[in-house]
Structures are given as structure tokens and as C-alpha cells.
Amino acid sequence: MKTYQMELAGRILRIDVGRVAAQANGTVFIQYGDTTVLSTATASDKPRDGIDFFPLSVDFEEKMYAVGKIPGGFNKRESRPSENAILTSRVIDRPMRPLFPKDFRNDVALNNLVLSVDNTCRPELVAMIGTAMATSISDIPFDGPCAMTQIGMIDGEFIVNPGQEDWDRGDLRLTVASTSEKVIMIEAGANEIKEEKMIEAIYMAHEVNQTIIALIRQMMAEVGKEKFTYTSCAVPEEMFEAIRNIVPPEEMEKAVFTDEKQTRDANIREITDRLAESFADNEEWLGVLDEAIYQYQKKTVRKMILKDHKRPDGRAIDQIRPLAAEVDLIPRAHGSAMFTRGQTQICDIVTLAPLSEAKRIDGLDEFVTEKRYMHHYNFPSYSVGETRPSRGPGRREIGHGALAERALLPVMPSVEEFPYSIRAVSETFESNGSTSMASTCASCMALMAAGVPIKKMVAGISCGLVTGETDDDYLVLTDIQGLEDFFGDMDFKVTGTKDGITAIQMDIKIHGLTRPIVEEAIRRTREARFFIMDECMSKAIDAPRPQVNEYAPKIICIQIDPQKIGDVVGQRGKTINEIIDRTGTKIDIDEEGNVSVCGTDRAAMKEAVHMIEIITTDFEKGQIFTGKVVSIKEFGAFIEFAPGKEGMVHISKIAKNRINRVEDVLTLGDTVKVICLGKDKMGRISFSIKDLR
């Protein structure tokens, strides 16, 4: 066993190599503070047959024992990954994937097992660093090392690798991955951070990454394994020559350069069929034909963009596709909007509900237990003209939903301003590039249409990149469509208001971006966001509606003495359930005495509030109530003036004249007005009918 350690942001990062899991290709047992993660990298001996992609899997395993909890549910064991685990796996995957060889087809699994959590050292960060270390010292072919750093910001000051509390309450949540020379991944959520400040934070993280990379290089030199030789799955060069003879470059240009995805797909199918017929006797070539055609398209598109500044659909380099927006297209929805950009179309539907409908979170984060704003994203096969059954959201759908949610979270109203749980669902009607950014735009408009008082309008756009042989030979593309994403080098998504950035997600397929590329992409997305807001979104709806629509639930909030919560709830919930049954409302009470009454009938809601106020009022002589006769005795009648609350009218206080029987004046179920006389010797509330004026 060999141990390495370094000081990182004021805390000790310790790595043990050779201590555990020795049969994995690469393993590190890594601790940062008391946060402990086992990171492993394994690879199969041979390539997987019949695939044209690199089969990489990344897992972030949250174990509840890491925070001293037993999992909930019947089985009392961890089941499917949480949303946080899925998002963390995606963040680790994105910088690692481009550093493996392009022609590598062996299965690779990168696993991170969270063993202990110290909330001053986030386990997600430890897993990211551990993955890079385990892969770098393994014998798996990998063009690393790389490293990851997180930056927070509180009161305008940057914090390197903040703890969970500072991460959650700060104005910036930035993760940056780097190689020794370039930035390779950016993920951010921000409270309207200025572009210049964001760039400063990105390159602060890049500098910190260099100290981690220096340690990894030392580990590679001392305990790193020699990389194994793998079977290349590259397309033979002689096959490319044969393809070019059958399909000349000018024919491929004509096939791919169209603004209609369906036309392009039809053109490529025709070319594929012709080549398959030509290579019918060559099984080896037929096995890689799809990959060969993909590479041929890629070279064609990249050459035309980079050398001739010609995009497949004929647009200028900084031109956005045609835009359209509308609201209120879904009847009875609490809020709805549709945003269209070229052949990308998203319909977003917003639903409002009481705060009790907020999502409960049972994870390794002790600071966040629920969230009231949720954004979900769906990507059906028909949106890209394919035929396959829906199997529920995958990692991509969860990631896109989380990005749009992160984009809008900084402008959401507080609970005090808008006491609702809010769910936005983005349905992808059509897809040809950057549906997550279209989801952000559609969701913003749907929230405003629903009457959610968001603080500012938010829009999003993605930029692409095509690079040449040198660092200064590149072209940044505004608003990339699917083809430019597939064949390009970058998908740089940025969302924000006119005052700053709210979210970033950057994916690349190359070994990093230079600072000029990052700065130009951020500048381009800012210009595009402004254009989308001014020329499209604001023309459909320019501000939140002043109130929720007729089909949305209404909420009345009141404050009661926390000592009176038990009176409102009643024994085993009897009192509050009776109020709910009588009024048809939904009532939530928190431990601080905040009460929200939710319903669609305002009169019934006011009645429920009135009942609660009666129950929580300290009864004083002279108060007047309306109640129902619920019991008649020889000596008087009992009047229920609120659920679970009764008082007695003595027979002598029923009528001004003397009566012999209570039943001569009152009947069970009668509604009567009474005046409070205080409490009798037994502590019961006494009422009078005859003393009413």
C-alpha cells in the first residue's frame, strides 16, 4: 500500500493505493476530511461485438450508512439511484469520456462507492477526483490525467470546494474539470452571475485543478500501471477510399446540407443502402459501415463549416433558427406554453399545488429535505421520428430536467411570496438540437402564464464548436442543430436573465477548450438570450399574470400560535379532518404555526379559515358565535361552534321567558347564534341565546 496526500482548499486530501479492491484495473481509497469514497475503474479484456460507440458506464453509489441512516421503505435497503446520484454520474462521465481513445470499444465501468460523508467535504467532489485518479493509474487506455474543482460564492467572495451548507446557500455552484492545459467540462448553477465573474471563477477552478493533476502525475509515475494494448475498431482507410469512389464528396455534401432533418435522413439511408449493396461480399466492412458513413458525414460537415463557413441549413454562423412562442394552448392547465426554434419544439405545462406536495428528499444531504419547485423533462421517440416504446425517464431526461430547473430556480418566488408547490413538465414534441434550452424558454413562459411571480424572464441557448488542427483554428456556432451537435466538438449551454447567468452545462468531444473559446461562447450565448427574449418570448407573454387562473388551487395563509396546533389538529387528527370534510379544502400546518388553506372555492376556504380562527381564539365574555345544536339535555343544550369545540347553553339562558323543556325551543341540528358568558365552574364554555341583542 502507498499513501499520498495534499492540502486542498485548507483540508487534507488523502489517497490510499493498494489498500482495498486490488482486482480492479485501478483503485483509490480517497478521503477528504471525513468524507470517504472508494473509486474503481475496470475494463473488459475484449471489445464488445456489434457496437459503434464506446460502452462507458459511470456510477455514484449513495449508501445511507454513510450518514448513519437506515433506508426508508419496506426492504430497508438502497434501491434505484437517486436523482442526485444520476446527476453526479453524468457530471463525472462528461469530462472522462472524451479522454478515452475514439476507437476503443471495450466495456469500461467507473464506480464510486460513498462510505462516509462529512458535510464540509462534498462526496460528489471526492468521487470526481477519485475517478480521475483511479483511471489514470490503471492499465486502461486513457489520455489523462484530469481533475475537478468546485467553486461557490458568498457575498461576492469565491469559495474553493465549499461544504454542503455553503454550496446550497451561496450564489454560485460551479464544477470545472480540466486537463493540464484546457478546460474540459463546466457545470454551473448561479444567481444571475455576470459573465465576467463566471469566467473568473472558471479559471480559478482551472488553476486549482493543476495542483491535483500534479499529484496524479506523481501517482502515475510511482504506482501507475502500463496501459494495455487494445483492439482498434477504427474504420480501415481503404474502406474510406472505396466509399469516396462510390459516393464522391460533392454528393455527400448535397445529401447532408439541408435544413430538413427528414430529408437528410432519407438521403443518408439511400447512400447506406447503395454502399451495403456494393460491400455485400465483405462482411468485415459491412460490420463497420454505419460507423464509416458517420465518419464521412462528420468530415464533410466539419470541412464545410470550418473552411467555407457554410452550415448544413444555410444559416450564418451566429444566426438563430426561426422562433415561435405561444401560451395557454392547453385547456384547464394551470399554465402552459410552447416554444419552437427551428425543428425543436417544447410544450411546457405547469401545475400548482399546496406546499404539502413538495418533493421529499432522502439522501446524503442533511441540509435539503424537500423542494417545492420541480422540473421534469420527457423525450418521446416520436419527437425524432423513431418508433420505440416509452420506458420512463432515463439519465438524459433526468439531466435535461435538472438543467432547466436549475436555470429557473434563481428567479422563483419565495414561499412567503407564493405559498405553492410548483411542477413544470416539458414535453418534447419535436427535437433537432438543444431541447433543454427550449425547455427553459417554454417553462419560463408557462410559469408566467400560471401566475407564478417569477422575478425575471429567463432564456437559454446552446453554442457549438468546430476545431481545426491548431488551437486558434476554430469556429463557434450559435444555436446548434442536431447534426452540428453530433459532428461538432462542443455543446455549450447557457441560461440566464438580462442581468446574468443562471446555469451552464458544457459538454465536449475533444481534449479541452482554450480560454478564448470559452469567452466567445459565453458572449455569443448572452447575445442570443437577449434576442430570444426580446424577439420571441416577450411577444407571447411579457410578465407574470397577476393571479393564478380559475382552474388552479387558491391558497390562504394565516399564522396561529404554535401552542394551539394541537387544538386545530385534534385527537388523532379528528378536528382538522372534520374541517377538511366540511369545507372540501386541503389544510397544511407546519411546526411554526403557519397554516395554508388550499381549495378552488373561495367561500369554502374562508369558512375553513374562520373555523381555525375560532378554534385558536382565547374565548372571552361577549364574543358571538354561530353554532349547531349537537346535544340536548334536561338542563340545557350543547352548541358546536367549531369542529371539536362545544359550549353549553343552560335552559335558563335559552329564551327570555321561562321554558320547561329545552325541546320546546331547540331541536337537534338547529343553527343558532350565541354569546359567550365565559367559563363555568367546571371550565366549560357557557353560552347564552337570550342575552343576544
Of 507, 540, 573, the last residue of a domain is 540
- CATH number of the domain that residue 271 is part of: 1.10.10
Query: Helix, strand or coil for residue 339?
Result: strand
Of 308, 333, 359, the last residue of a domain is 308
Residue 331 shares a structural domain with residue 270: no
Given a contact cutoff of 8 angstroms between Cβ atoms, the answer to whether 637 and 666 are in contact is: yes
And the C-alpha cell for 666?
331547540
Given a contact cutoff of 8 angstroms between Cβ atoms, the answer to whether 610 and 585 are in contact is: no
Residue 614's pLDDT is what?
81
And the C-alpha cell for 540?
407571447
Nearest to 230 by CA among 53, 51, 94, 100: 100
CB atoms within 10 A of CB 663: 12
Residue 520 shares a structural domain with residue 563: no
377-385: average pLDDT: 93
Strand order in the sheet with 554-559: 554-559, 594-599, 586-589
- Could you give phi then psi for residue 365, rounded to 5 degrees? -100, 110
- CATH number of the domain that residue 400 is part of: 3.30.230.70
Residue 410 shares a structural domain with residue 489: yes
- Looking at the domain assignment, is residue 317 inside a domain? no
Residue 498 shares a structural domain with residue 643: no
- Could you give phi then psi for residue 443, rounded to 5 degrees? -65, -40
Residue 416's pLDDT is what?
87
pLDDT tens by residue, 237-258 = 899 889 999 999 889 888 888 7
Nearest-Å Rg of the Cα atoms of the chain is 32
Q: Which has the minimum average pLDDT: 6-20, 39-53, 153-167, 273-287?
A: 273-287
Distance CA 279, CA 287 (A): 10
- Looking at the domain assignment, is residue 318 inside a domain? no
And the C-alpha cell for 369?
429535505
Enclosing domain of residue 609: 554-615
Strand order in the sheet with 106-116: 2-8, 11-17, 26-32, 35-47, 106-116, 56-62
And the C-alpha cell for 22?
486490488
77 pLDDT above the threshold of 90 = no
Nearest to 377 by CA among 327, 338, 428: 428
Residue 652 neighbours by CB under 8 Å, 6+ apart: none
Nearest to 439 by CA among 332, 576, 345: 345
Return the amino acid letter for 283.
E
- Looking at the domain assignment, is residue 548 inside a domain? no
- Looking at the domain assignment, is residue 549 inside a domain? no
Percent helix, strand, coil in the chain, to 5, is 35, 30, 35
Distance CA 689, CA 693 (A): 9
3-state secondary structure string across 486-531:
HHCCEEEEEEEECCEEEEEEEEECCCCECHHHHHHHHHHHHHHHHH
Distance CA 485, CA 487 (A): 6
Distance CA 292, CA 68 (A): 52
Distance CA 615, CA 619 (A): 9
Residue 79 neighbours by CB under 8 Å, 6+ apart: 71, 73
CB atoms within 10 A of CB 120: 17
Distance CA 532, CA 462 (A): 12
Residue 74's pLDDT is what?
79
Residue 217 shares a structural domain with residue 125: yes
The reply to whether omega before 145 is within 30° of 0 (cis) is yes
And the C-alpha cell for 400?
435535461
Residue 366 shares a structural domain with residue 401: yes
pTM: 0.87
Residue 117's pLDDT is what?
95
- Label the pairing between strands 594-599 and 685-688: unpaired
pLDDT tens by residue, 529-551 = 999 999 999 999 999 999 999 89
Residue 502 shares a structural domain with residue 643: no
Q: At what angle do helices 237-246 and 261-278 cross, to 10 degrees?
A: 110
- Looking at the domain assignment, is residue 50 inside a domain? yes
Nearest to 634 by CA among 648, 644, 645: 648
Residue 121 shares a structural domain with residue 64: yes
466 pLDDT above the threshold of 80 = yes
- CATH number of the domain that residue 609 is part of: 3.30.1370.10
Q: Which has the minimum average pLDDT: 194-208, 459-473, 563-577?
A: 563-577
CB atoms within 10 A of CB 357: 19
- Looking at the domain assignment, is residue 315 inside a domain? no
Of 615, 637, 654, the last residue of a domain is 615
Residue 426 shares a structural domain with residue 278: no
Q: Which has the minimum average pLDDT: 180-194, 332-346, 384-398?
A: 384-398
Number of compact structural domains in the chain:
5
Given a contact cutoff of 8 angstroms between Cβ atoms, the answer to whether 480 and 463 are in contact is: yes
Residue 265's pLDDT is what?
86
pLDDT tens by residue, 23-68 = 999 999 999 999 999 999 999 999 998 888 899 999 999 999 998 9
Between the two ends of the chain, the Cα-to-Cα distance in Å is: 92
Residue 516 β-bridge partners: none
- Label the pairing between strands 421-430 and 373-378: parallel
- The confidence band for 367, taking pLDDT boundaries of 50, 70 and 90, is low
And the C-alpha cell for 27?
483503485
Nearest to 644 by CA among 688, 612, 673, 605: 612
Residue 16 shares a structural domain with residue 106: yes
Residue 693's pLDDT is what?
66
Distance CA 668, CA 655 (A): 17
And the C-alpha cell for 557?
395563509
pLDDT tens by residue, 602-619 = 889 998 998 888 888 777
Render 72-88 in DSSP notation, one character per residue: -SSS-S--SPPHHHHHH
In eight-state DSSP terms, residue 415 is: T
And the C-alpha cell for 339?
416554444
Dihedral angle of Cα 681, 683, 689, 690, to the nearest 10 degrees: 20
- Give the HSE-up count for residue 690: Cα atoms under 13 Å, Cβ half-sphere: 13
Residue 151 β-bridge partners: 160, 174
Return the amino acid letter for 350.
V
- Label the pairing between strands 359-360 and 344-353: unpaired
Q: At what angle do helices 123-137 and 83-96 cross, to 10 degrees?
A: 40
And the C-alpha cell for 149?
474543482
pLDDT tens by residue, 401-448 = 999 999 999 999 998 899 999 999 999 999 998 999 999 999 999 999
Residue 368's pLDDT is what?
52
- Give the HSE-up count for residue 601: Cα atoms under 13 Å, Cβ half-sphere: 10
Query: Helix, strand or coil for residue 264?
Result: helix
Q: How far is CA 282 from CA 186, 243, 499, 552, in A?
A: 44, 13, 59, 64
Residue 330 shares a structural domain with residue 465: yes
Given a contact cutoff of 8 angstroms between Cβ atoms, the answer to whether 36 and 67 are in contact is: no
- CATH number of the domain that residue 680 is part of: 2.40.50.140
Residue 345's pLDDT is what?
97
- Looking at the domain assignment, is residue 675 inside a domain? yes
And the C-alpha cell for 245?
469512389
- Looking at the domain assignment, is residue 693 inside a domain? no
366 pLDDT above the threshold of 60 = no
- Give the HSE-up count for residue 283: Cα atoms under 13 Å, Cβ half-sphere: 1
Residue carrying the nine cell digits 475517478: 131
- Label the pairing between strands 685-688 and 645-650: parallel
In eight-state DSSP terms, residue 396 is: H
Residue 611 shares a structural domain with residue 636: no
Distance CA 181, CA 273 (A): 43
